[in-house]
Amino acid sequence: MGSFCGSLKCKRDSSRKECNECLEKGKKIKVVFVMGGPGSGKGTQCAKIVQQFGYTHLSAGELLRKEINSGSENGTMIQNMMNEGKLVPSDLTVRLILKAMQESDNDKFLIDGFPRNEENLKAFENHIKIEPNFILFLDCPEEEMTRRLLSRNQGREDDNIETIRKRFRVYEESTLPLVDYFASKGKVHKVDAARPVEEVFESVKTLFSSTEEQVSAGYLLKS
Ligand code: ADP
Ligand code: C5P
Ligand code: MG
């Protein structure tokens, strides 16, 4: 896999320092990791952040589901891992994230459901080499997440109680320690995600407003 040279336009297999071709070299790219348990509301809040703040939303799970539906040779393996609630090999997930970033013209990204374990993070550091600006952590009790997943109704095969339990164990064992790691670096903004959608978004909005210039649709049209 090629590493990311630092520009969204550059498709060269080159490290940032060595890439002389790229006119946009050095362009600052913002990355926010959106972490939280299955059903904590990551996708829901990301959609609202996109509307209000102009980020591009990349859900790792969504990218993997698209890969399955594209008829990729990895499709069956990904499907089997998902049905077991397991994490797919990180190089594959990171390759999909990198491709989506390169195909976008945007320079700010919400990366949702990623990283899920230490291997995910290492692969991101190796191949994409962008330090996340901060981590939005949606904190929600398992009981509430279970209720939400069982009534999500999006036809997802992994939204059944048996797989949900396995996904929670992976979350506890592999993802939460990573949240602690980022917290020790002062990077985590924790939001109580057990509240109604709009209340959660009020907190999320306050957080993003303090780190971002607001990109409302009206502002974009006028400029
Ligand atoms: P995630 O991406 O973290 O798995 P989703 O955003 O898909 O979670 O939300 C899971 C389900 O819960 C969806 O059906 C969504 O409509 C619902 N949901 C999301 N946030 C809330 C909330 N704050 N309160 C109640 N239901 C919610
Ligand atoms: O985030 P989402 O609930 O859509 O993820 C669904 C599944 O996709 C996970 O349970 C896991 O099997 C897979 N996944 C992964 N690695 C990630 C994100 C998701 O393997 N970083
Ligand atoms: Mg989701």
What is the distance in A from the centroid of ligand 2 to the CA of 151?
A: 18
Q: In terms of Cα–Cα distance, which of 168, 165, 179, 163 is closest to 121?
A: 179
pLDDT(5) > 70: no
Q: Please check if 120 is assigned to a binding site.
A: yes
Instruction: Please report the pLDDT score of residue 152 as a whole number.
Output: 98
Distance between the two ends of the chain, CA-based, in angstroms? Answer: 38
Q: Which residue has the higher pLDDT, 13 or 185?
A: 185
**What is the Cα–Cα distance from 127 to 119, expressed in whole angstroms?**
12
Quick check: CB of 97 below 6 Å from ligand 2?
no
Distance from Cα 22 to the centre of ligand 2, integer Å: 33
Residue type, 7: S
Q: How high is the pLDDT of residue 214?
A: 46
Say how far apart CA 150 and CA 93 lie, in whole Å: 26
- Residue-wise pLDDT for 94-144, tens only, equals 999 999 999 999 999 999 999 999 999 999 999 999 999 999 999 999 999
pLDDT of 217 strictly over 90: no
- Determine the Cα–Cα distance for residues 127 and 95; give it in Å rounded to an integer: 8
Neighbours of ion ligand 3 (CB under 5 A): 42-43
Q: How many domains does the chain have?
A: 1
Q: Which ligand is nearest to the CA of 79?
A: 2
Residue 31 lies in a domain: yes
Q: Are strands 134-139 and 108-112 parallel, antiparallel or unpaired?
A: unpaired
pLDDT at 27 (0 to 100): 63
**Ligand 3: centre distance to CA 164 (Å):** 13
What's the pLDDT score for residue 211? Answer: 86
Rounded Cα distance between 56 and 5, Å, is 19
Residue 4 lies in a domain: no
- What does residue 172 show for φ and ψ, rounded to 5 degrees? -65, -45
* Pocket flag, ligand 2, residue 116 (CB < 6 Å): yes
pLDDT of residue 9 exceeding 70, the answer is no
**Among candidates 87, 89, 42, which has minimal Cα distance to 193?**
42
Kindly indicate the confidence band of residue 222, based on its pLDDT and cuts at 50, 70 and 90.
very low
Overall average pLDDT of the 136-156 stretch: 98
Given this model, what pLDDT does residue 22 score? Answer: 44
For residue 170, the ligand 2 atom closest to its alpha carbon is 10
Given this model, what pLDDT does residue 11 score? 54
Cα–Cα distance for residue pair 175/29, rounded to 1 Å: 24
CATH of the domain at 46: 3.40.50.300
In a domain, 115, yes or no: yes
pLDDT digits 0-9 by tens, 30-87: 999 999 999 999 999 999 999 999 999 999 999 999 999 999 999 999 999 999 999 9
Average pLDDT over residues 139-157: 97
Answer whether residue 138 is part of any domain. yes
- Whether 113 lines ligand 2, by a CB cut-off of 6 Å, is yes
Residue 1 lies in a domain: no
Cis peptide leading into residue 115 (ω within 30°): yes
Pocket of ligand 1 (CB under 6 A): 36, 38-44, 148, 152, 196-197, 200
Alpha-helical runs (H) found in 13-59:
42-53
What pLDDT is attached to residue 33?
Answer: 98
Provide the domain limits for residue 31: 20-215
77 lines ligand 2 (CB under 6 A): no
Ligand nearest to the CA of 145: 1
> With bands split at pLDDT 50, 70 and 90, how would you rate the model's confidence at 20?
very low
> Has residue 6 been placed in a domain?
no
The structure's pTM equals 0.90
Q: What is the mean pLDDT of residues 188-198?
A: 98
> Which residues have a Cβ under 8 Å from the Cβ of 23 and sit 6 or more positions away?
7, 9
Q: Which residue type is seen at 56?
A: T
Q: What percent of the chain has pLDDT over 90?
A: 82
